[in-house]
Amino acid sequence: MGVLSMSVLSHRAPLVASVLLALSGPAHALSPDYFLIDEIYADAEKWTVGVNLARKSCVMDMEFVGNTELQIGKDANGGSDQYYMMFANPGWTYEEDGDYAVTVKYDRVSTWNGDGVGMRLHTYRGVSLEGIKKGVIDEFASMSSLFLRIGKTNHGTFNLSTTGKGVAKLEECARAVANGSISLASIAERIAANSSSAGPATPNDGNRFSKPPAKQDSPPEANRPEDNGNEDEGRVGYSTGTGFFINGDGYLLTNAHVVEGCGDAMVRRALSGLVPARIVAREKTNDLAILKIDEKPDAFGTFRGAPQIRLGDSIVVFGYPLSGLLSSTGNLSTGLVSSLTGAGDDVSKLQISAPVQSGNSGGAVVDQSGRIVAIVVSKANIRARGTEEKPDIEVFQNVNFAIKAGMAQFFLDANQVRYSVEPPGEEMKTPDVAEIARKFTAQVICEVRR
């Protein structure tokens, strides 16, 4: 994760420090509702921007490598010029409502200090700085890196290279809420309606909605299993991928890039006909999308709960790769969990050895009991690595990546879509696992105008 350091002093540092010290005194009894995104507004260069009902305005959120979450938001409860800044991590132990000294250094030269209050959001604990003025947010938007210290503990440096665009979208969203273009009452009604019709999500203390880990610079060898389609510019093509049902109401998960550029989609199960599907939500940063059909599926998948899958465990992938070339009834591949992180130590992903092809995108990765542990998202190019004299000294083989199930659960929670989580069951033979996966898996097809 790149950072920018400078050796000159910023003349703005004393002013910013005094603003924060005066206005970010500790607040108490901060409900988790104050840190949730109730409806997504936009994805802005790796930041998720959305509406927060409790604060009557908008927030922007990103989770960095190492699972440290950074959230900035406007709080209309305290006036038109009030903001907050929150830092959290599942490994931290800060106490709710505790008082903590916070030091932030921008680009290693502009330093300000403030008093934060401890907060908790499910398994994430952290500190929030409340009552911040807009000048501090403007400073934040203009910088390249942020170094964080809470109390006597240093929490590292974070890349702010995309922050300016995120803050711009945050302000745009906040204006829309303030002038009524975005109705808080309507969002509350939709959430209530969805909750009453779909029922609550399966209890899971790890559930929350905020930005899952986002890699700052994906290595060049990490590429999607791109979907089949006509790439002639200006013409209509078809994108195909894989999806899987996650409840009995007709909701499916797939990758966002499978339905990129599509207004609607179609779903085909095994040899059955095509069924129209509505695209409910898309989240580009973590490459996830939710679709819904009006029919009830024959089966739906269940996410694996504790104990989590381990390095070396066997996995099964069922999907619809290479449409028109391979079997139209789906294909199976098997492998192992090769790594518990993705390319560049991306903690939001697993590395798997099961072969995947174009069209496998969005398919479920299941364990030997049929529980979903990940979603296929990318593959490694077959690329030689070595010297000019020996360019073929090393070739990538069976290096593929999948989004961890926990990331998908965050996304489903954000969109009020229910799902099931159960501990792994008794290990079964691969044909039996394949039959389970086949029943809840479908091919996703959409028309793309390029």
3-state secondary structure 41-94: EEEECCEEEEEECCCCEEEEEEECCCCCEEEEEECHHHCCCCEEEEEEECCCCC
Residue 411 pLDDT greater than 90, yes or no: no
pLDDT for 396 equals: 58
Residue 10 pLDDT greater than 90, yes or no: no
pLDDT for 326 equals: 57
- Answer yes or no: pTM beyond 0.95: no
Alpha helices in 146-276 (DSSP H): 163-178, 184-198
Spell out the domain ranges in the chain. Answer: 13-194, 218-450
8 Å CB contact between 359 and 227: yes
Architecture of the domain spanning 13-194:
Sandwich (2.60)
- The mean predicted confidence, pLDDT, of the chain is 77
pLDDT for 177 equals: 94
Q: What is the pLDDT of residues 91-116, one digit of tens each?
A: 899 999 999 999 988 876 678 888 99
Residue 228 pLDDT greater than 90, yes or no: no
SS3 content of the chain, % helix, strand, coil (to 5): 20, 35, 45
pLDDT for 14 equals: 29
The topology under which CATH files domain 218-450 is Thrombin, subunit H (2.40.10)
Q: What is the pLDDT of residues 151-207, one digit of tens each?
A: 989 888 888 878 888 999 999 999 999 999 999 999 998 888 776 554 444 333 333
- What mean pLDDT comes out for the span 241-257? 90
- Using alpha carbons only, what angle is made at residue 318 by residues 406 and 364, rounded to the nearest 5 degrees? 10
